[in-house]
Structure 1
Amino acid sequence: MKLTESIRNINKIPELRQRILYTLLLLFVYRLGSHITIPGVDASAVASATTSHSNDLFGLFDLFVGGAFARASIFSLGIMPYISASIIIQLLGAVTPYVQKLQKEGEEGRQKINQYTRYGTILIALLQAWGVSVNLSSPSSFGKVVVPDPGFFFTITAVIILTASTVFVMWLGELITERGIGNGISLIIMIGILARFPASLVAEAQSVSFGSKNWIVEIVIMALMVAIVAIVVILTVATRRIPVQHAKRVVGRKVYGGGTQYIPIKINTAGVMPIIFAQSIMFLPSTFLSFFPESEAMQKVAAAFAYDSWFYAVVFGLMIVFFTYFYTAIAFNPKEVADTMRRQGGFIPGVRPGKNTEEFIDNILTRITLPGAIALAVIAILPTFLTKFVNVTPGFANFFGGTSLLIVVSVGLDTLQQVESHLMMRHYDGFMKTAKARGRR
């Protein structure tokens, strides 16, 4: 009843209804483009050949783009070049004074950073598009001929189309963020992941019906999946609240302050970004190695970076822990929080304002980030363990845990919270059970 009432409330708000419909329309355009094949490619040959890559890094890349890679679609690169460019810009912000200066210049600096990110997206898309064209042109990559007429003209055409399509997808994401609901880039990634879920679920059900898996074991697996989803939700929303006391101030006949507020610090402050960052970096070796399909040495290195290898799992987990700390340091600055509290007359009980407050917040942030980062890494590499020790199909294992589940839960909760805020602004009950209580407070 509460869900249906919340949906009816959405329909009562014209602006929110238009934003949701606009978002759905642009996501439909993205899904439509993922079914348009690159000119000069035999789509049926690619589809049959990429089934053998369902459990490697190409299969994971195909998961993020909603099957566009398996269909040799014009959207084969998806939004991943933009994510890679964002990673590079943020890394430069930590070591380059010029980028650091832009980050502190407000809206003008943000626009320049966005512009540099777009330029970087084009450069990375050109490189990855070239790698895709080389892979498609090489029969050894797929075990059969997928491009009947390879050559210079096909390479140039494929690179131009794939790069332009990536820029178009980036534009769609920015439109969704500006005029729709939710973060457009994240929603594009999420919709690409969810597009593969029905087929993976059917494949898992068929394995049970054909007798290759016991149905009792499948029930246990599904129960474990529900538990993991609950753990991911808890990891996403769990916070550590630091009490802040404000001194009373008398201005004229009014008394200000004197109450107790809280600084909410999430256990997973970085959200899903460490997963996306680490995954984008892990895509780079396979892109580079795709230029050497005939080299045995390069293929041995590629085997080490296979999605189901232990080396990949360990490196991926360590990168997630690193990027969790890195992005947390960018998203939450204890020094700025301490300075703001001092200017507003606030203090943490038992802690001196200024440097001591900064160190206190930084210590708490460091302690709660470590278990959050480890939990994030364990959940991210869980599909590797499932495919190794449990009889779970590779496609379904990606939804059982790992990057897919983390992205879907994080983006879903973020979008739901934005819808919730629109409802609460107009005094409607949202989807959360405590929405009315929060509104009253």
Structure 2
Amino acid sequence: MIGSGFQNIFRVPELKKRLFFTLALLVVYRVGVHIPVPGIDSIALAAFFAKAKGTLFGLFDMFSGGAFEKLSVFALGIMPYISSSIILQLLTVVVPHLERLSKEGEQGRKKITQYTRYGTVVLSAIQGFGISVGLESMVAPGGAPVVMIPGWAFRLMTVITLTAGTAFIMWLGEQITERGVGNGISLIIFAGIIVRIPNALSNSFHLLSTGELGIFMILIMLILMVVVVGVIIFMEQGQRRIPVQYAKRVVGRRLYGGQSTHLPLKINTSGVIPPIFASSIIMFPATIASFIHVPWVKQIADAVMPGKIAYELLFVGFIIFFCYFYTAVTFNPVDVSENMKKYGGFIPGIRPGKKTAEYIDRVLTRITLGGAIYVSAVCVLPSILISQFHVPFYFGGTALLIVVGVAIDTMAQMESHMISRNYEGFLKKGTGKIQGRR
């Protein structure tokens, strides 16, 4: 039973210690979200953000857990680290030095991680400077400036504060990964998203009490939520398993190989990267329009606002494109087929080498289309619910994909800790185990 699985968590001393350590660092992160950057008029800033919904600011604010809207020391959140990781991952394909490092095992990964940290600091400084300059030009709807005393002193202070905040979050994430439970960076984003749930519930109960939202609609929404979460869990763990047979070979006096296994290809190989990229590109015109007052820029921004048909079509198109692009960058069928051939592995009925690579690529292309359609449907769902059914809160999209994915990963790690110490996990024996996203 799941209930007995949760009781077993506290019977494993090491797991209990790791869990409390993780919670303590997440509390530290949430405290830092409420510490503001010096020199900001918080009332004017809140008024500006109320006007700037549907821009990149909203996307950054989601990943920073509300820190960007308050312009706290953690305003940049973990986005510079994510951006640096993605850039390094893409450069690994085109830069021979990085490609060699990625194949050197643990030492190579440590070097790439070090480069990622340097990239995070550089990106944080650049973004911090851009934000400081942008803040000086921000004016609330009432005419009050957001920055009290603009100038180079304010810019330098903002750059140092925001860069230090992102570096500290990066350190927190690494500590959680090493000494806690789950992936630290993912859990920090997870914590920033779920803190908004109480506010959404409060708004729903308020609308229910005033009669603006019927009890029947609430029940339908609850059923829909359960179904959507179930579909996400199913799809995130979905795999296309290609059978692989290893030929028998003699090494010295021993006989190796002869066993059958499989090559697992995930339906959603690219994770939440495609909707993040797609949102960033589509929201760019609206972000520019919030700073400058050019008629044609405003027309483009209005045409691609969430809920408009142009926005939804572009959003789906970009998601499908980035699903294929990111999968092609991170998964190389030629390398997989060469490694299989090197160790005597082959797919039954398929000739090793080029034919195997073509077969894997064909299968991957087909399942990626299914994964892209699934991600698109989840990401378009919030706009449909809000515009067509007047749902008072945001449900679905990138945030839900992140929350469910991180929850699956974290439960999988706790499951492995308990099973390794002969405790029953979250699921009954014989019914399968939770599989994390590898």
Aligned pairs (5 A) from 1:156-195: 156-195=156-195
Q: Relative to structure 2, which stretch is displaced further, 188-197 or 337-346?
A: 337-346
Aligned pairs (5 A) from 1:309-388: 309-388=308-387
1: CA distance, partners of 2:81 / 2:304: 22
Aligned pairs (5 A) from 1:27-426: 27-140=26-139, 143-145=142-144, 146-248=146-248, 257-279=257-279, 292-296=291-295, 298-303=297-302, 306-393=305-392, 396-397=393-394, 400-426=395-421
Query: Over aligned residues, Cα RMSD in angstroms?
Result: 2.9
2: CA distance, partners of 1:18 / 1:360: 47
2:268–2:368 Cα contact (<8 Å) kept: yes
TM-score (norm 2): 0.87
2:101–2:112 Cα contact (<8 Å) kept: yes
Q: Relative to structure 2, which stretch is displaced further, 121-130 or 367-376?
A: 121-130
Residues 284, 386 of structure 1: alpha-carbon distance in 2 compared, 3 angstrom cutoff: same
2: CA distance, partners of 1:295 / 1:131: 20
Paired AA for residue 383 in structure 1: P
1: CA distance, partners of 2:423 / 2:288: 52
Gap regions ≥5 residues in structure 2: none
**1:11-63 CA distance string (max 9 Å, x none):** 23232222222211111111110011111223344335433445544333322
2: CA distance, partners of 1:435 / 1:151: 66
Residues 221, 8 of structure 1: alpha-carbon distance in 2 compared, 3 angstrom cutoff: closer
Structure 1 residue 326: Cα displacement: 3.0
Residues 309, 366 of structure 1: alpha-carbon distance in 2 compared, 3 angstrom cutoff: same
2:2–2:427 Cα contact (<8 Å) kept: no
1: CA distance, partners of 2:201 / 2:69: 18
1:64–1:193 Cα contact (<8 Å) kept: yes
Structure 1 residue 135: Cα displacement: 4.0
**1:262-303 CA distance string (max 9 Å, x none):** 22221112223333444455676666666x445555545544
Where 1:243 maps in the other structure, the secondary structure is strand
1:240–1:266 Cα contact (<8 Å) kept: yes
1: CA distance, partners of 2:181 / 2:318: 30
Residues 109, 305 of structure 1: alpha-carbon distance in 2 compared, 3 angstrom cutoff: farther
Where 1:386 maps in the other structure, the secondary structure is helix
**1:310-356 CA distance string (max 9 Å, x none):** 44443333332233223323443323333333343333222222322
Where 1:140 maps in the other structure, the secondary structure is coil
Number of residue pairs the alignment of both structures matches: 433
2: CA distance, partners of 1:285 / 1:170: 30
2:56–2:287 Cα contact (<8 Å) kept: no
Residues 299, 108 of structure 1: alpha-carbon distance in 2 compared, 3 angstrom cutoff: farther
Residues 229, 60 of structure 1: alpha-carbon distance in 2 compared, 3 angstrom cutoff: same
Q: Give the match for residue 431 of structure 1.
A: 426
Q: Relative to structure 2, which stretch is displaced further, 177-186 or 302-311?
A: 302-311
TM-score (norm 1): 0.87
Residues 371, 436 of structure 1: alpha-carbon distance in 2 compared, 3 angstrom cutoff: closer
Structure 1 residue 410: Cα displacement: 0.8
1:126–1:163 Cα contact (<8 Å) kept: yes
**1:88-119 CA distance string (max 9 Å, x none):** 22232333334333333333433333233223
1:135–1:141 Cα contact (<8 Å) kept: no
Structure 1 residue 80: Cα displacement: 1.0
2: CA distance, partners of 1:84 / 1:35: 24
1: CA distance, partners of 2:406 / 2:433: 22
Paired AA for residue 3 in structure 2: T
Paired AA for residue 423 in structure 2: Y
2: CA distance, partners of 1:208 / 1:39: 40
State percent identity of aligned pairs.
Answer: 49
Where 1:387 maps in the other structure, the secondary structure is helix
2:75–2:162 Cα contact (<8 Å) kept: yes
Structure 1 residue 307: Cα displacement: 4.5
1:77–1:125 Cα contact (<8 Å) kept: yes
Structure 1 residue 368: Cα displacement: 0.8
2:44–2:140 Cα contact (<8 Å) kept: no
Structure 1 residue 407: Cα displacement: 0.6
Paired AA for residue 415 in structure 2: E
2: CA distance, partners of 1:127 / 1:287: 17
2:5–2:427 Cα contact (<8 Å) kept: no
Paired AA for residue 200 in structure 1: A
Structure 1 residue 248: Cα displacement: 4.8
Aligned pairs (5 A) from 1:8-19: 8-19=7-18
Residues 347, 92 of structure 1: alpha-carbon distance in 2 compared, 3 angstrom cutoff: closer
**1:191-246 CA distance string (max 9 Å, x none):** 11111111012112322322223332232222222211111111101111222233
Residues 402, 177 of structure 1: alpha-carbon distance in 2 compared, 3 angstrom cutoff: same
Where 2:386 maps in the other structure, the secondary structure is helix
Q: Relative to structure 2, which stretch is displaced further, 195-204 or 400-409?
A: 195-204
Paired AA for residue 159 in structure 1: V
1: CA distance, partners of 2:123 / 2:17: 34
Structure 1 residue 435: Cα displacement: 6.5
Where 1:35 maps in the other structure, the secondary structure is coil
Structure 1 residue 405: Cα displacement: 0.5
2: CA distance, partners of 1:186 / 1:226: 22
2:379–2:397 Cα contact (<8 Å) kept: yes
Where 2:263 maps in the other structure, the secondary structure is strand
